[in-house]
Amino acid sequence: MDPTPSPAVETRQLTKRFRRVTALDSLSLAVLAVLPGQVYALLGANGSGKSTTFRLLLNIYRPSSGEAFLLGRPSPSLDGADSDKVAYLSEGQKLPAWMSVERFLTYC
């Protein structure tokens, strides 16, 4: 018998603070499977922590506390090969004016 698979997306008490602002407060969720070709979205009001959650999952931000897992792995352990399996599109993507595209891709 196969062990229970890890959730594709999971957070455990995930919290992110920016100075005095709490952008995400103790979020716990588990998405068991996101099949190839499927789209997964978080819906909520402006300022509810949707973009922050995705940025924490993708290790763009570091959590203030809690844990984030993507593809069954802790988000801090994600590497370049994982980007072939995940796409993230946020509203208003902008390249910092001082950064070349090559440097931005290396950063990502």
Quick check: is 1 in a domain?
no
Q: What is the pLDDT of residue 3?
A: 66
Q: How far apart are CA 87 and CA 108, in angstroms?
A: 12
- Give a three-class secondary structure readout of the chain: CCCCCCCCEEEEEEEEEECCEEEEEEEEEEECCCCCCCCCCCCCCCCCCHHHHHHHHCCCCCCCEEEEEECCEEHHHCCHHHHHCCCCCCCCCCCCCCCCHHHHHHHC
Quick check: is 4 in a domain?
no
- Number of structural domains (the chain) is 1
Quick check: is 90 in a domain?
yes
Quick check: is 71 in a domain?
yes
pLDDT in tens, the chain (108 residues): 556 677 888 999 999 999 999 999 999 998 877 777 777 778 889 889 998 999 999 888 999 999 999 988 899 998 878 777 777 766 666 767 787 878 877 776
pTM over 0.85? The answer is no
Show the domain range for 94.
Answer: 9-107
Quick check: is 3 in a domain?
no
Quick check: is 2 in a domain?
no
Q: What is the pLDDT of residue 34?
A: 75
